[in-house]
Amino acid sequence: DTLWDLAIAEVEKRENPDDDGKHVEVWEKSVLFMGNKNGGKTTIILRCLEREEIPKPTLALEYTFGRRARRHNTPKDIAHFWELGGGTSLLELIRIPITSNNIRSFAVVLVLDLSKPNELWTTMEKLLQVTRNHVNKILTKLEKTNPEVATEIKQRMRNNLQRDHPDYELVDPFPIPLVIIGSKYDIFHEFDSEMRKIISKTLRFVSHYYGASLVFTSKSEALLLKARGLINHLAFGYDKSKSVSVDHSKPLFIPAGLDSLSQIGPPPASDSDIGKMRANTPLELWKKVFEKTFPPKSFCDLQDTKDPAQDLQYAEYEVDVMRAQKNQ
């Protein structure tokens, strides 16, 4: 038998189990990690997959996967992990992992570097905007070709909040499951308490508004475990943790749907300042308040200037000689 014959036989065996009807569906999910450059995305993925290796800088879009068996002797569930490198400089690559074929089982993890508050809002806004536009395009297509799936996806995101939740009409859930991770909490913890409060409150508002889960993490094992729990829930369907931590002097941990606008409170600015700010939506108002304290870095500062072709970790003698010749 050739390798292909064996593969076909294996697939048929899984699809048509023996007469005792022990058919177990293999669960397959995809998760896209994106966020600040050097924000710790690779480290978080390696911890989730329990891999003991030293993270390398991510070039463009990288792929890895994890497998877990739910019970003994059952086929393993598969989770596809995609990682977008380069901060906000490679946004058009988002189209590659998110397609109409896998949109039902897709989730996004946004990793924001808490130690760089001046880049935080710009990075978050750009990445979420481009992802949302792309997902909405897919949903618009699906409404014509497969309306049941499109409705199911929209409904699932509304269900993150109970219908009787006081904010049910005030939020605008992200179209696919979203987890926001605030990384480098150890550096953030050294910040002035007022700055920490503004950043924490703003991220709580954004997460709640988008129907996302929020967790702060650092290299500490206990915090990484909490982040891992949320990601395992997305990737392998593990149970979601019910614990909540909203104390601004501690690392935040708030699963989707367990916060409320009344608990978060108004944007941290004086009434006269808020009165002067012209904003059409609550999100815009929070953005203005946040950027008053942390003026955003100009976008060109966030662009990646280094040429990946010069990176030593990708050196290939024959290719490099040809390139040198071509450049010459």
pLDDT at 92: 81
The answer to whether 244 and 263 are in contact (CB under 8 A) is: no
Collect the ranges in the chain with pLDDT lower than 70: 15-26, 298-308
Would you give the DSSP letter of residue 100? T
Q: Is the dihedral of CA 38, 41, 46, 50 positive or negative?
A: positive
Is residue 74 assigned to a domain?
A: yes
Decide if 9 is inside a domain: no
Residue 15, in any domain of the structure: no
Domain that holds residue 197: 26-327
Instruction: Convert the pLDDT of each residue in 270-282 to its tens digit.
Output: 777 777 777 778 8
Predicted local distance difference test score (pLDDT) of residue 303: 52
Q: Identify the pLDDT of residue 21.
A: 46
Kindly report the CATH number assigned to the domain that includes residue 90: 3.40.50.300
Asked whether residue 87 is domain-assigned, the answer is yes
Residue 310 confidence (pLDDT): 73
pTM, rounded to two decimals: 0.79
**Structure-token match 């463009």, residue found:** 60
Q: Considering its fold, how many domains does the chain have in total?
A: 1
User: Which of 252, 224, 226, 251 has the alpha carbon at shortest distance from 240?
Assistant: 226
Cα 215–Cα 282–Cα 90 angle in degrees, nearest 5: 60
197 domain-assigned: yes
CB neighbours (10 Å) of residue 107? Answer: 19
CB contact burial 160-184 (16+ within 10 A = b; e otherwise)? bbeeebebeeebebbbbbbbbbbbb
Decide if 17 is inside a domain: no
Tens of pLDDT, residues 42-83:
877 777 777 777 777 777 888 888 887 777 777 778 888 888
- CA dihedral sign of residues 40, 42, 30, 26: negative
Question: 152 with 82: CB under 8 angstroms?
Answer: no
119 CB-near residues (< 8 Å, 6+ apart): 36, 87, 113, 296, 297, 302
Q: Answer yes or no: are the C-beta atoms of 33 and 44 closer than 8 Å.
A: yes
* Res 300: pLDDT: 52
- Alpha carbon of 321 to those of 306, 309, 317, 325: distances in Å? 20, 12, 6, 6
Q: Is residue 6 part of a domain?
A: no
Q: Summarize pLDDT for 212-238 with one digit per residue, the tens.
A: 888 888 877 777 778 888 888 877 777
- Please indicate, yes or no, if residue 220 is contained in any of the structural domains: yes
Q: How many CB atoms lie within 10 A of CB 299?
A: 11
Amino acid, res. 17: P
- What pLDDT is recorded for position 19? 47
